Amino acid sequence: MCRETVLTGDVHKNLDVCPSCGHHFAMATRDRIASIMDKGSLIEHDAHVESVDPLGFRDSKRYSDRLKSMRKTSGEVEALIAVGGRIENIAVEAGFFVFEFMGGSMGSVVGEKIARVFERALERRVPALIFSSSGGARMQEGILSLMQMAKTSAAIARLREARVPILSILLHPTTGGVAASFSMLGDLHIAEPKALIGFAGPRVIQNTIRQNLPPGFQRSEFLLSHGFIDIIVPRKELKASIVLALRWMGTPALTTRN
């Protein structure tokens, strides 16, 4: 980041990107959806589906109380918003992670909503898009959370068999079980600049192997140079790049209007 003085309003108008140095600040999920999807085309799915506390989990706080608190502070019911709509008149089904809700962690409900995004895309024969920003599997749901990795990956396999395009957009951060499953199984992997992407975090890896990690390890630029992602796209160019990719992948479904 630079040390220039910039107005908050100017940064927000610039899609939460610093107009001086291009640093990408965190962006509210609803603002991100508005920046990508065509105005008036949006249909939100599964908004009523909420997590419960299947394990009766408690650490410093009961899981059920954490959920209530998160719903109040974030204004969302879960860590994923699933929508159908259009991007430059291209019909899509999309899922947007809500990092504001428990770090975008993936529990049973998040996994189910992602699987349903893929199922709707398959049924409608339209591209599926996932915008990932997550700390990984939700520890409060234990093995039930980890099972979502297999469920979402299996749903992607059905899309791939039917030759329905899947675009994975990797935001900061995309880690843990999310990075280790569907988010790295797209037909095209697009990342925002300097996003942290990987399974275990760099501090965990460094403390485990007792070795210094290369500069920029697990950042978008490092992953691009090692062939793990396909392209890095600044936020202001993301919508146009998605449209270009979908048109290049070209199937009859890509010109369908709702």
DSSP labels, 210-226:
TSPPPTTTTBHHHHHHT
In a domain, 3, yes or no: no
pLDDT interval class at 257 (50, 70, 90) = very low
Query: What is the share, in percent, of the chain residues with pLDDT greater than 70?
Result: 97
Least confident of 30-44, 66-80, 200-214: 200-214
178: helix, strand or coil: helix
At how many degrees (to 10) do helices 108-124 and 142-161 cross?
A: 10
128: CATH: 3.90.226.10
In a domain, 150, yes or no: yes
In a domain, 7, yes or no: no
Pairing of β 90-97 and β 80-87: antiparallel
Peptide bond into 19 cis (omega under 30): no
Q: What is the mean pLDDT of residues 141-169?
A: 97
Note the pTM of the prediction, 2 decimals.
0.93
Reading the block at residue 248, the tokens are: 């290049």
* pLDDT per position as a tens digit, 56-83: 999 999 999 999 999 999 999 999 999 9
In a domain, 15, yes or no: no
Mean pLDDT of the chain: 94
φ, ψ (nearest 5 deg) of residue 226: -105, 10
How many domains is the chain partitioned into structurally?
1
In a domain, 20, yes or no: no
User: Structural domain of residue 248, as residue ranges?
Assistant: 26-255
In a domain, 9, yes or no: no
pLDDT value of position 32: 98
In a domain, 180, yes or no: yes
In a domain, 12, yes or no: no
